[in-house]
Amino acid sequence: MNTKGILAIISGVVLLYLVSATVYIVPETHRGVLLRFGELIETNIQPGLHFKLPWVDNARHFDVRVLTLNIEQQRYLTIEKKPLDVDSYVTWRIQNVDQFYRATGGDERRAENLLASRIENGLRDQFGVRTMREVVSGARDELMVEITNSVDELTSSEFGIEVIDIRIKGIELPDEVSENVYARMRTSREKEAQEYRSRGRELAEGIRADADRQATVIVAEARRLSEEIRGEGDNQAAGTYADAYGQDRDFYELYRSLTAYESTFQNKSDMFLLDTKSDFLKFIKNSGGAER
């Protein structure tokens, strides 16, 4: 390679270096600032291709999209001095690039620390004037609106940051408080369960007594009906016997005697001592039914 070729390559490299040191690009989602010897000379530079003085100016750009910051769990006291462990997060964005850079030096990590500190102070103030019931359920939405507005007003004026929304992810009782709460809840539920059991036993006794009373009444009524039916049956049987006896008294008397003999003399070893003049033997002594 000759001398001219080497010079051309060197000139090309120098030209590319000069271009790279002179030209800078701000992405669509960012806004830029231009520094000269560390002093801010231009702010809120829009997206696109821009020029600067090489080795003198320094360009920086910052993301202006909506960002999310998770706040580490912190413990706050309610108006009743009850501790609560709170997890929260915030959505924010850079609103004023000039003010943001002057307040934070363009360090996003520092901006997040400052923002988190302001939010923690705001939450501590808001929790301190509310009861546990209000922060857990009753006035939670109102709390979020108030803390968002107050922190946004503060960070806009101090850091050029717009706070879009602050939300609580979770509220938990500390472990030592949870044990006491669970113990009270357990005692309350056991007391309530005992009341239900006592009430159930009382109702069961009442139902059992009523069932026994109804059973006694039903059995008594059934017995009464059975006695009436049995009496009617006996009455009808007596009438039938009377009618049969009246139709042929001699035959009926003979039938009754034979039935008595059959039930009495069932075994040859049976022995009875009777007077020969007893009416029980009259049909045996005289087959004609009359005494000799």
Q: What are phi and psi of 50, to 5 degrees?
A: -135, 165
State residue 166's pLDDT score.
92
Tokens representing 151 are 């922190």
Topology of the domain comprising 67-179: Tetrahydropterin Synthase; Chain A (3.30.479)
- At 289 the pLDDT is 45
Q: For residue 292, what pLDDT is reported?
A: 38
> What are the start and end residues of each CATH 3.30.479.30 domain in the chain?
67-179
- At residue 238, the pLDDT reads 80
Q: Buried b vs exposed e over 188-218: b needs ≥16 C-beta within 10 Å? A: eeeeeeeeeeeeeeeeeeeeeeeeeeeeeee
pLDDT, position 222: 92
This prediction's pTM: 0.56
Q: What is the pLDDT of residue 285?
A: 61
Of the candidates 152, 43, 50, 62, the residue with the CA atom closest to the CA atom of residue 106: 62
- Per-10-residue mean pLDDT for the chain, 292 residues long? 69 68 89 89 90 87 92 89 90 93 90 92 89 77 87 91 91 74 82 90 91 92 91 85 73 73 68 63 56 40
